[in-house]
């Protein structure tokens, strides 16, 4: 998503516990800050960027690694869209071609003959080639909850053998297609201690429930947003967006 935002950061965390805040339509109300804290943990990077573009002065709750992923995406925004110059060239070609056609019609009719040439297709196969054995997989379903309050935790990060593979959905659930061998799953969420569990080897579907205990790592505060420079914002508004509307 194209935006004027170039970086999102949190200069100071909120000391108030998320679980002690009063729930409302947009998130939870923090009495210490006297403002609503929006829960961004279940949103995608594009959804967070769109929200903060429309409402820059916002208190938010983010996942432990969520801001890193969003800022990495913002860093990758090109000054020009990948096919910007291609579209400009197409527009120029259409313009000059139209001028040539108008001039040609004033002089004489032009007839263009085309001929289709058949293309031979050939398929080369090696019957002796050894095809790799497919990797046996099984589905592992999981739900992440608060150990004490028992409510689900959306936006929790799920690791498999030390690597980030997914995050829980709005219901605090996840589903993974994993090898049938023994694996180690770790789950971490904002404001909770990381929990690890071992899933034994087997081909049957597994359903697990991970209960997280409150711990360090909560990130709740007013966000600080750095916007693009004035020349770039003017370029986006006066040149880039009109061209995008014309060519789709």
**DSSP run (H or E) holding 48:** helix 45-54
Helix, strand, coil share of the chain (percent; to 5): 25, 30, 45
Residues in the chain: 248
- Looking at residue 221, its pLDDT comes to 45
Between CA 144 and CA 152 the distance in angstroms is 6
Asked whether the CA dihedral 105, 107, 109, 115 is positive or negative, the reply is: negative
For the domain spanning 137-212, the CATH number is 2.60.40.1120
What average pLDDT does the segment 143-165 reach? Answer: 91
Residue carrying the six token digits 């420079």: 229
Stretch among 1-15, 143-157, 217-231 having the lowest mean pLDDT: 217-231
- What residues does CATH 2.60.40.1120 cover in the chain? 137-212
- pTM of this structure: 0.40
- Looking at residue 97, its pLDDT comes to 45
* Phi-psi map region of 130: left, alpha, beta (phi>0 left; psi -120 to 50 alpha): beta
Question: 240 pLDDT exceeds 70?
Answer: yes
């Amino acid at each position: 998503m194209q935006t004027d935002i170039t970086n999102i950061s949190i200069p100071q965390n909120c000391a108030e516990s998320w679980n002690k805040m009063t729930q409302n339509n947009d998130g939870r109300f923090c009495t210490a800050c006297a403002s609503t804290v929006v829960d961004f943990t279940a949103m995608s990077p594009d959804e967070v960027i769109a929200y903060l573009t429309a409402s820059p002065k916002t208190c938010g709750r983010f996942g432990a690694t969520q801001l890193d992923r969003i800022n990495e995406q913002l860093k990758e925004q090109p000054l020009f869209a990948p096919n910007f110059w291609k579209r400009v060239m197409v527009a120029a070609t259409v313009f000059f071609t139209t001028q040539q056609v108008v001039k040609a019609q004033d002089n004489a009719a032009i007839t263009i003959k085309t001929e289709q040439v058949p293309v031979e297709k050939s398929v080369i196969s090696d019957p002796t080639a050894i095809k790799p054995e497919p990797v046996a997989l099984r589905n592992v379903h999981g739900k992440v909850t608060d150990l004490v309050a028992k409510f689900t935790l959306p936006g929790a990060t799920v690791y498999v053998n030390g690597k980030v593979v997914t995050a829980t959905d709005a219901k605090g659930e996840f589903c993974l297609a994993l090898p049938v061998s023994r694996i180690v799953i770790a789950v971490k969420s904002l404001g909770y201690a990381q929990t690890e569990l071992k899933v034994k080897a087997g081909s049957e579907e597994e359903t697990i429930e991970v209960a997280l205990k409150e711990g360090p790592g909560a990130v709740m505060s007013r966000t600080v947003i750095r916007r693009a420079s004035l020349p770039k914002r003017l370029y986006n508004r006066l040149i880039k967006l009109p061209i995008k509307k014309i060519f789709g």
